[in-house]
Structure 1
């Protein structure tokens, strides 16, 4: 695996991550057809405030940053030590991302492994996540890391006439 230092985020790193990841959430939801472009950023901020009322200090949440040995940040991860739907003894990976210029280098796998280790160190026995169906590289990472489909949500556009 490539060399990467993974550690908890500091406050300034969190503040930058919070804004950037909220924009990523908004764009992802628009691309998936879940939110309109006009309302996406507002809805993303509402979703973040609901899950992170105390931001970095929100109980049960862990925020990790991945850094090259020279201190260059390459990615981040956010996990909750309790599952949002109450699944017992299961943490939830809300967000993991490697900066675009560093993708395809193995850093995502390092961040994922560090997230698993962090959950395990808190006594959690499993980790669950959601991934958009169009995110093929992430799906491949998760499958090759031992993740399996637990539930699957599917959608069909009815705007186009089917022949």
Structure 2
């Protein structure tokens, strides 16, 4: 049986993390016509590794990263009952390792860190039509909250 674990990402993981970032962009491109053409990047990964308010983890199998995710502590809107929340992003699993519970392991590591930081609320964004991602997040305990709407002018 394969043992998959999670750990903090390091600069040594940069090649894999850059690959995962492009995987996220490729997966999201069909849902967002406003994304710039390639090459495009979403994240400052080196900053994410170093920042104390961001917890970037990788899922590892046989010493190799196979998935990622981060939690970033943010200030919440002043009218909410939690002063801060952890925003989750960069959720990615290599296609050949999907269906093995990797996303749940990453989510649990992020939840554990958020709780250790005194955070009581997790949030993330997912494209409305991205049914596989929505299903995965609901499986991890998330529920739909709000729909963001936009209009190009």
TM interval, short-chain normalised: 0.7 to 0.9
Residue 84 of structure 1: CA displacement? Answer: 7.9
Contact 2:66–2:97 (Cα < 8 Å) also in 1: yes
Higher relative contact order (CA 8 A, sep 6+): 2
More helix by share: 1
1:61 corresponds to 2:54? yes
Higher strand share: 2
SS in 2 for 1:20: helix
Distance 1:111 1:78 in 2: 9
Change (3 A) 1:83 1:96: farther
- SS class of match (2:74): coil
* Greater C-alpha Rg: 1
Q: Secondary structure at the match of 1:64?
A: strand
Alignment coverage as a number of residue pairs: 147
| 2:118 paired with 1:142 | no
C-alpha RMSD of the superposition: 2.9
Q: Which residue of 1 aligns with 2:74?
A: 82
What's the CA shift for 1:53?
A: 7.9
In the alignment, structure 1 segments of 5+ residues that lack a partner are: 157-163
SS in 2 for 1:40: coil
